[in-house]
């Protein structure tokens, strides 16, 4: 392994990433070094690069948190993995392991979590460091590029759909059919829901149709909510908002049936109004949902292993990372863009 590696770094917010040679990190106790073969490009990375949120990462920083590849080196005390193992790295680089949330299967809300590609260097590089207990194995026959998006987009939407508490046969709306949403449509179908997909872009709506959504609606249509209420006989049992736009959150609440739950995955740094009377009278629930636990990830990967979910990907050479981010900014990526780092 060479002393330096190729990486894309945020050096200034809103600027193109700098592709540089930087020192290859060495795994500390309980860590592994992972040789990245492919990494997905999540809209969260774009928020980080553009400095969209009030909370900004410390820069320079290597973004990326949907990385898959091989274990390349083990830190002291690591016995659960060996060099050459196929693994993926996700948003939870590590959590404290001791708090009430870690101890109750809710490690994704651990207040001491360290996030890959945000609080520590991420996967837009030849190598990344991760805690050995937080990487997840990838099945022998799984394609790296197709598996990468499961480590954030797949996990997050699978977990979000579970948290709608909708039952098989019931209606679930997916608002936003991007990297997250196109997987949400597939998980929702695999989980037995009837799926309504909404997006403002015709290309994304067309993808949702190809993926088997039962009903596809233009989110910008003023009649969208009324139409959904009519088609579902009173509204959806669950809604999953994956769009990075505040408008989609009001719509997510609007499409709910009495007693329904709207799960929020998208992360625009904004607010949306809630009419208290209607909310109370209809017994609605709104719930924030951040990625998922390692066990949720195992479950999300199992759907892929069974052939029930398959990411739609656009594979690009790593060197084109800035063009890819631009296309994501403009809403032009179909499914998930994945950067190839295999050479």
Residues that bind ligand NAD (CB under 6 A): 42-44, 47, 152-153, 156, 175-181, 198-201, 204, 219, 242-245, 247-248, 265-267, 289-291, 328, 331, 333
Calpha distance 106→111 (Å, rounded): 11
We find the least distance from the C-beta atom of residue 246 to ligand NAD, in angstroms, to be 8
Contact indicator for 122, 128 with CB cutoff of 8 Å: yes
Cα 218 to Cα 229: distance, rounded to the nearest angstrom? 14
For residue 176, the partner it binds in ligand NAD, Zn ion, none, with Cβ less than 5 to 8 A by kind, is ligand NAD
96 binds Zn ion (CB under 5 A): yes
CB of 169 to ligand NAD, least distance (A): 25
Q: How many CA atoms lie within 13 A of 257 on its CB side?
A: 17
Closest CB to ligand NAD belongs to which residue?
178
Binding mask 101-120 for Zn ion (x = CB under 5 A): -x-------x----------
Rounded to 5 degrees, what angle do the CA atoms 39, 45, 49 make? 130
- Give the one entry of Zn ion, ligand NAD, none that residue 96 binds, where binding means its C-beta sits below a cut-off of 5 to 8 angstroms depending on kind: Zn ion
Output the six-digit token pair for 298.
């195992």
Task: Identify the sign of the CA torsion 307, 126, 73, 136.
Answer: negative
In 3D, which of 180, 206, 190 has the Cα closest to residue 304? 190
Nearer to ligand NAD, 20 or 52 (CB): 52
Q: Toward Zn ion, which CB reaches closer, 24 or 44?
A: 44
Q: Does 123 bind Zn ion (CB under 5 A)?
A: no
b/e burial code for range 310-319 (CB count within 10 A of at least 16 → b): bbbbeebebe
> What residue 99 binds from Zn ion, ligand NAD, none (CB within 5 to 8 A, per partner kind)?
Zn ion
Quote the least distance from Cβ 78 to ligand NAD, whole Å: 27
Pair type for strands 171-175 and 67-74 = unpaired
- From the list 40-48, 240-248, 253-261, 333-341, the region that binds Zn ion by CB under 5 A is 40-48
Which option in ligand NAD, Zn ion, none does residue 261 bind, with CB closer than 5 to 8 A by kind?
Answer: none
Cβ proximity to Zn ion, 184 vs 216, nearer residue: 184
291 makes contact, choosing from ligand NAD, Zn ion, none, with CB < 5 to 8 Å by partner type, with ligand NAD
**Can residue 333 be called a binding residue for Zn ion (CB under 5 A)?**
no
Beta bridge partners of 31: 131
Distances, alpha carbon 26 to alpha carbons 5, 31, 34, 69, 87, in Å: 12, 9, 10, 17, 18
């Amino acid at each position: 392994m060479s002393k330096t590696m190729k990486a894309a770094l945020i050096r200034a917010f809103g600027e193109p990433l700098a592709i540089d040679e930087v020192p290859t990190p060495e795994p500390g106790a309980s860590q592994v070094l992972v040789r990245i073969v492919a990494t997905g490009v999540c809209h969260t990375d774009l928020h980080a690069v553009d400095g969209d949120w009030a909370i900004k990462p410390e820069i320079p920083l290597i973004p990326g948190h949907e990385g898959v590849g091989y274990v390349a080196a083990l830190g002291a005390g690591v016995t659960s993995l060996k060099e050459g193992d196929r693994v993926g790295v996700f948003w939870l680089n590590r959590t404290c392991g001791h708090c009430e949330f870690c101890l109750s299967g809710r490690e994704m809300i651990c207040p001491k979590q360290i996030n890959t590609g945000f609080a520590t260097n991420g996967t837009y590089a030849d190598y990344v460091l991760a805690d050995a207990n937080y990487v997840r194995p990838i099945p022998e026959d799984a394609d790296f590029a197709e598996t990468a998006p499961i480590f954030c987009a797949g996990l997050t939407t699978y977990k979000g759909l579970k948290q709608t508490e909708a039952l098989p046969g019931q209606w679930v709306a997916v608002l936003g059919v991007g990297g997250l949403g196109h997987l949400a449509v597939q998980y929702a179908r695999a989980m037995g829901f009837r799926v309504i997909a909404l997006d403002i872009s015709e290309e994304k709506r067309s993808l949702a149709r190809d993926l088997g959504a039962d009903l596809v609606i233009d989110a910008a249509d003023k009649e969208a909510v009324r139409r959904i209420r009519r088609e579902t006989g009173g509204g959806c049992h669950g809604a999953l908002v994956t769009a990075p736009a505040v408008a989609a959150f009001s719509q997510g609440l609007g499409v709910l049936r009495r007693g329904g739950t709207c799960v929020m995955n998208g992360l625009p740094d904004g607010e949306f109004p809630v009419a208290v009377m209607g909310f109370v009278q209809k017994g609605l629930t709104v719930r924030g949902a951040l990625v998922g636990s390692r066990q949720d990830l195992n479950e999300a990967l199992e759907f892929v292993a069974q052939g029930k979910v398959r990411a739609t990907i656009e594979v690009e050479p790593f060197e084109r990372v800035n063009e890819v981010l631009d296309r994501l900014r403009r809403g032009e990526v179909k499914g998930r863009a994945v950067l190839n780092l295999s050479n």
